[in-house]
Structure 1
């Protein structure tokens, strides 16, 4: 049952994925099995421009995109078009990423290994105001682990230093780039290690990369 605020014969849906084959496959699947009007985009910035000029009811959003990440794009879409339903459709199965997407206003999270029926049912659930979670995502969210931890919040300066670290810059180089002292850079390095519970810089970069923070 579709939400009364939506005309079930005129639902406009946008798919955002930077893999053309996945885009075409999803588009043909959804247009064949539903009465959705489907638009496809390879970049997050493009769909944001589009929704400012056109009403979109549902956005299926990948997390990893060539021009950014779906966590940030989800937040921007919900700010610019609060009425739009935003559902992640991704291979990213990390519990922390799922929670961050939902915290950013996401209406659901579906893994790409879900079958077509599960995707369509997820869209229908989100349109009536329910949270659209594929079965595997529900299991991941209920799972607890001693190694699982919530990603720390980073300041703007910490993000700048983390990005510089991933590029292999030394503390002296980072200090010169950001117009701060080497001691300040070293202090931020220690704080980042503590925040991420990382043993060394290699582990810090690995955690940050896996969680799309850089």
Structure 2
């Protein structure tokens, strides 16, 4: 009998974890060894347990899922990392693949397509869902427009925001007031034409102002 294909699943939504686990466990010769809601817990587990496939989200509470791909591949170079996420930005998909992911699928992918994608990844193929293929075929926003002009202080604050620092933490690091930080944050969102911090970070990565 062939050894089972073993899985670790990483997603911060318990319902998603349960659904994926139920679906995979229902497949012949596939076994979910562990599920985690944070990247840190998963990395600690993977230091001592080899697996065949890691299914992971990009939006995690303690780390960038893009960076997590790289860290997992450092621990286990042969593991197949498949990203399953709602993030559909071209830059995020590209960075995930560059960091070692064997495929990228959106969470609206049908169960049978997901299972087939897992099998294809195990055969050494690069796996992209149809929607992701269409996104990657489009030109990146950075290719169509010039990046905004940022001051040195704005670049510093942007990097701290990307690192997950709070307004208070940024103010303390840069020896400025929280109100000044918030003012810079609003200016940055206006320059990048976004309305929230995740959008700001994604555009900053796209224009290569920060490293994911």
TM-score range, shorter chain: 0.7 to 0.9
Q: Secondary structure at the match of 2:26?
A: helix
Q: Distance in 1 between matches of 2:14 and 2:197?
A: 29
1:11 paired with 2:10, answer no
Kept after mapping to 2: 8 A contact 1:61/1:70: yes
Give the aligned CA root-mean-square deviation in angstroms: 3.7
Output aligned runs, 1:22-171, within 5 Å.
22-38=16-32, 39-144=34-139, 161-162=157-158, 163=160, 167-168=166-167
Please give the per-residue CA displacement for 1:25-48, whole angstroms capped at 9, x wherever unaligned.
110111113321102111111111
Please report how far the alpha carbon of residue 210 of structure 1 lies from its aligned counterpart in structure 2 after TM superposition.
4.4
Please report how far the alpha carbon of residue 74 of structure 1 lies from its aligned counterpart in structure 2 after TM superposition.
0.6
Q: Secondary structure at the match of 1:109?
A: strand
Please report how far the alpha carbon of residue 122 of structure 1 lies from its aligned counterpart in structure 2 after TM superposition.
0.9
Kept after mapping to 1: 8 A contact 2:6/2:51: yes
1:208 paired with 2:200, answer yes
Kept after mapping to 1: 8 A contact 2:58/2:64: yes
Please give the per-residue CA displacement for 1:20-70, whole angstroms capped at 9, x wherever unaligned.
111011101111133211021111111111111011110001000111121
Q: Distance in 2 between matches of 1:93 and 1:117?
A: 21
Kept after mapping to 1: 8 A contact 2:104/2:132: yes
Q: Secondary structure at the match of 2:47?
A: helix
Please report how far the alpha carbon of residue 9 of structure 1 lies from its aligned counterpart in structure 2 after TM superposition.
3.9
Please give the per-residue CA displacement for 1:150-179, whole angstroms capped at 9, x wherever unaligned.
9x9xxxx9875223698457xxx84x6347
Q: Distance in 2 between matches of 1:21 and 1:200?
A: 34
Please report how far the alpha carbon of residue 206 of structure 1 lies from its aligned counterpart in structure 2 after TM superposition.
6.1
Q: Distance in 2 between matches of 1:117 and 1:81?
A: 27
